[in-house]
Amino acid sequence: MNCPKYRTIVIVIMLFHISADKTSAWGFYAHKQINRIAIFTLPPDLFGFYKLHIEFITEHSVNADKRRYAVKEEACRHYLDADHYEQALPFDTIPPFWKDAVAKISEDTLNAYGIVPWYIQLMRVRLVVAFKEKDVKKILKLSSDIGHYIADLHVPLHSTENYDGQLTGQSGIHALWESRLPELYSENYDFFVGRAVFLPDLNAAVWLAFGESFAARDSVLSFEKRMSIKMSPEMKYSLENKGNMQTKQFSKEFCDDYHSSLGGMVERRMRASMLMVGSVWLTAWVDAGQPKLDGIEERQLDDAERQAKIKEELEFLKGKIIGRDEAR
């Protein structure tokens, strides 16, 4: 799965605070919360193992985004521009299974417009193998990454070519929806999301979740547009101190109105992400024959893995993303 076509958008440095969070779907903050709380949806047999590694799973929730600086194949794993293929649900031109999609659409085209629903299923297969092998390092890495991709699957702007409102004069909406809003309001969200469940048909579950994102994309964009027409630019933006820098941000007043116009959408998508992350971990473990995980030892990284990790960190620090830029 290569991504042959790269796109970038212009980041308006003066308007939007640029930090390490800039490339993250959901923002680093929300990704970490989603992976962390997903652990608390697990049944006792799995909870003990995941709880033991809660800091790893939390911190590595954002590694998939960091990898986009080092690995050119990475970008397209985070989204699917479904409106390149069709404008409304149900998806009847996009085959739900990878093999059929490759046969009908071609791998190059699929990679060009994103592959997140299919990639999650490949990762699940790998996680089943890791559980069977009782390979702690792989279980942790794959679990962290699966959490990331499932969270991305739940972001409406990950389902459209107009992913940052760049086609409708709404640049910056991506970071607004998935970073600024969760950072401002998620403290008051209800994250008691219930128990993870076994998913007998992961393909159907993934496409259902993605379909919900796709259905919500118009509201995400049109409500912001409506608010922007109502509010003067002086009210829409405010200057905020970040460290020793002043940055122009969406104002609290604008965020309050936009957030309430969305009627709990950000909270619902975060909750659904958490529950599905736990459910996919659980499903992979059940499919692997429910191996006992108590007391399994962590394997040391081998040389190749260590080198890859160092390269990934260095490229991330250099800060140049390969592929589509901004928050994906």
The least CB distance from residue 52 to Zn ion, in Å, is: 26
Among the residue ranges 64-72, 114-122, 218-226, 259-267, the one whose residues contact Zn ion (CB under 5 A): 64-72
The least CB distance from residue 48 to Zn ion, in Å, is: 29
Nearest to 26 by CA among 135, 206, 161, 150: 150
The nearer residue to Zn ion, 147 or 285, going by C-beta atoms, is 147
Bridge partners, 247 (sequence order): 240
The least CB distance from residue 191 to Zn ion, in Å, is: 20
The nearer residue to Zn ion, 81 or 152, going by C-beta atoms, is 152
The nearer residue to Zn ion, 46 or 120, going by C-beta atoms, is 120
The nearer residue to Zn ion, 65 or 224, going by C-beta atoms, is 65
- 164 interacts with Zn ion by CB under 5 A: no
The least CB distance from residue 116 to Zn ion, in Å, is: 8
- 25 interacts with Zn ion by CB under 5 A: yes
Nearest to 144 by CA among 42, 50, 269, 44: 50
The least CB distance from residue 326 to Zn ion, in Å, is: 11
Among the residue ranges 124-132, 145-153, 248-256, 289-297, the one whose residues contact Zn ion (CB under 5 A): 145-153
The nearer residue to Zn ion, 124 or 158, going by C-beta atoms, is 158
The identity of residue 39, as a single letter, is I
For residue 148, give Cα distances in angstroms to 16, 107, 153, 242, 325. 23, 23, 9, 26, 17
The least CB distance from residue 300 to Zn ion, in Å, is: 28
The least CB distance from residue 65 to Zn ion, in Å, is: 5
The least CB distance from residue 212 to Zn ion, in Å, is: 18
Distant-in-sequence contacts of 211-215, Cβ < 8 A, 24+ apart: 211/89, 211/90, 211/91, 212/154, 212/269, 212/272, 213/153, 213/154, 213/155, 213/156, 213/158, 213/159, 213/269, 214/82, 214/83, 214/89, 214/91, 214/156, 214/159, 214/160, 215/89
Among the residue ranges 43-51, 73-81, 241-249, 277-285, the one whose residues contact Zn ion (CB under 5 A): 73-81
How many residues are listed for the chain in this entry? 328
Among 21, 42, 61, 65, binds Zn ion (CB under 5 A): 65
SS3 230: helix
Among the residue ranges 65-73, 178-186, 187-195, 211-219, the one whose residues contact Zn ion (CB under 5 A): 65-73
Among the residue ranges 22-30, 119-127, 173-181, 315-323, the one whose residues contact Zn ion (CB under 5 A): 22-30
> From CA 101, how far away is CA 35, in angstroms rounded?
29
- State the DSSP string of 134-198: T-HHHHHHHHHHHHHHHHHHT-GGGGSS-TTSTTTT-TTHHHIIIIIHHHHHGGGS---------
**Structure tokens that stand for 139 in this block:** 């279980």
**Number of amino acids touching Zn ion (CB under 5 A):** 4
> From CA 234, how far away is CA 92, in angstroms rounded?
44
Nearest to 164 by CA among 270, 322, 15: 15
Among the residue ranges 75-83, 214-222, 248-256, 292-300, the one whose residues contact Zn ion (CB under 5 A): 75-83
The nearer residue to Zn ion, 182 or 254, going by C-beta atoms, is 182
- 152 interacts with Zn ion by CB under 5 A: yes
**Structure tokens that stand for 81 in this block:** 């521009």
What are the start-end ranges of the E strands in 28-142? none
Among 22, 36, 66, 78, binds Zn ion (CB under 5 A): 78
- 267 interacts with Zn ion by CB under 5 A: no
Which residue ranges make up the site for Zn ion (CB under 5 A)? 25, 65, 78, 152
